[in-house]
Structure 1
Amino acid sequence: MPLITSAPDALPYIDAKPSDAALSAANALVQSEMDPEHATTLHPSIPTMREAQFSDLVEQEYARIGSGQAKEPGTGIDLSRYEALDAPARGDLPAWKTTLQQAYTSAEYLRGRGVNLGLLETYGKNAWLISNARLEDELKALEREVEAAKLELEAVEQGRRAMQSNVAGELQGLEETWRKGVGRMVEAQAAAERIRAPLFPTTNIFAQELGDMMNTGHECNLDPGEMHDSPSGSVGRNRRRSLTIVI
């Protein structure tokens, strides 16, 4: 079930495009309601990154590399055993034994490398082709899913466009009817104020502002203030009328 169940009330296919000033005002309202740290703080639903944990030896080696210190002699992998050997001096038996052991080590390494290269030459090509074929199948499946999603998106957009286009005329008719109804109401109120003006002279300002609003067709806040009845009346009460109309 989706977390967002409400739908926006905008009609992008029939509504008029907002002006730059309206967009700037809307963006300002959105930014004012956002957390100032939204760009640097992760959402609570996103798990934090797990910190890497290494052994003490690895941490020490990282510290040595970071500080730029040279490797201590006798530590790590001895690469000299894989290098070409020089013959020791004639008659130095211990040196010849050491050189012979290193030669055996190099020969064993080269033999194993030759075996691996032979296996790679025999079976590596087929394994590589099979792996590429599997990757191509996965890529084609993902491309089909993307294409299906695009078609679904286009169908949804076409449906929305058709639905909004079908009701565009009705919506415009309702808006025009509403505007005419408000205009008739304003005309009736203006006529009523003109009739009431001789009876209550203090309402002349109210009637004048209402008439000006009818002539200009702009927003007008009508507030005649407090108007008192004649002292000869049986009840001395205050009247306050306020009207805000947008056409």
Structure 2
Amino acid sequence: MTEINGHAGDFDSLPYVDRQLELEGMKEKVDLLIEQEMRRISRKDRVQLPKDITLFKDDPVLSSEWARTSKQKPMATLDISRYDVAPPAGKDKQSVEAWQAAVDNSKAQLESQTLRLFNLELLQKYGSNAWKVHNFQLEGQLKQLKYNVEEKKKEISELNKQRKFEQTEGGTTLRNLESKWSDLVSQTLQVEVACAALENELEELKRYENSLNN
């Protein structure tokens, strides 16, 4: 298993060179070994993600809404009392200030409704074109994303081709080295056998010499 920056990485693999997996039952053995190895790796080594993530810390409105939804609390109902146009009631009926406040509120509500109608007219007149422009921009972004995806696929394909080429070349080198290693081991064994035979022959000669001297 390789390590990157001190952390556990992916397992080494030479799929274009190693053919042992094609043997019957070998894949199951390899999968079992990998599973056992992964069990020995702590989750801390495999996943380097922060445990606590603070969202919307710079936006108090979104932060409060996030806290509310996290606790599954219902959203507060919209306060529409500010849109009421009601005359003074009770003792306020005789108050000039109360009637003046009611008139001011009526004017404000009338101005608000006028502004809403104006915005609706603008939306009706220019909204469709703005929406078309927005859709056109989204289509442009979609085309760019598709292009980026295709480029990444090409990069992956080229990387796989390069990996296959390098592994194939490396596999040839490995097989040549393995063949040389086998030849050297065989030669070493032959030399050891010859040395053992010479040692035995030398011992026989020494015993024969001793017998002649005696």
Is the shorter-chain TM-score for this pair beyond 0.5, marking a shared fold? yes
Asked if 1:158 is matched to 2:167, the reply is no
8 Å contact kept, 1:88–1:96:
no
Asked if 1:176 is matched to 2:179, the reply is yes
Using the size of structure 1 for normalisation, the TM-score is 0.51
Say which structure is richer in helix.
2
Corresponding residue SS for 1:11: coil
- The unaligned stretches of length 5 or more in structure 1 are 72-76, 202-247
1:194-209 correspondence to structure 2 within 5 Å? 194-197=197-200
Give distance in 2, aligned partners of 1:98 and 1:113: 22
| Selected match of 1:120 from 111, 118, 123 | 123
Give distance in 1, aligned partners of 2:80 and 2:195: 106
C-alpha RMSD of the superposition: 4.7
Alpha-carbon spacing, 1:36–1:152, altered in 2? closer, same or farther (3 Å): closer
* Residue identity matched to 2:140: D
* Structure 1 position 107, deviation (Å): 1.6
* Residue identity matched to 1:108: E
- The unaligned stretches of length 5 or more in structure 2 are 6-10, 205-214
* Structure 1 position 138, deviation (Å): 1.9
Alpha-carbon spacing, 1:23–1:135, altered in 2? closer, same or farther (3 Å): same
Give distance in 2, aligned partners of 1:133 and 1:168: 52
Asked if 1:80 is matched to 2:85, the reply is no
* Structure 1 position 132, deviation (Å): 1.9
Corresponding residue SS for 2:15: coil
8 Å contact kept, 2:85–2:102:
no
Alpha-carbon spacing, 1:28–1:144, altered in 2? closer, same or farther (3 Å): same
Give distance in 1, aligned partners of 2:159 and 2:38: 27
Equivalent residue, structure 2, for 1:108: 111
Instruction: Tell me the percent identity.
Output: 24
Give distance in 1, aligned partners of 2:108 and 2:160: 70
8 Å contact kept, 2:17–2:171:
yes
* Residue identity matched to 1:82: Y
8 Å contact kept, 2:88–2:102:
yes
Say which structure is richer in strand.
1
Aligned residue pairs, count: 177
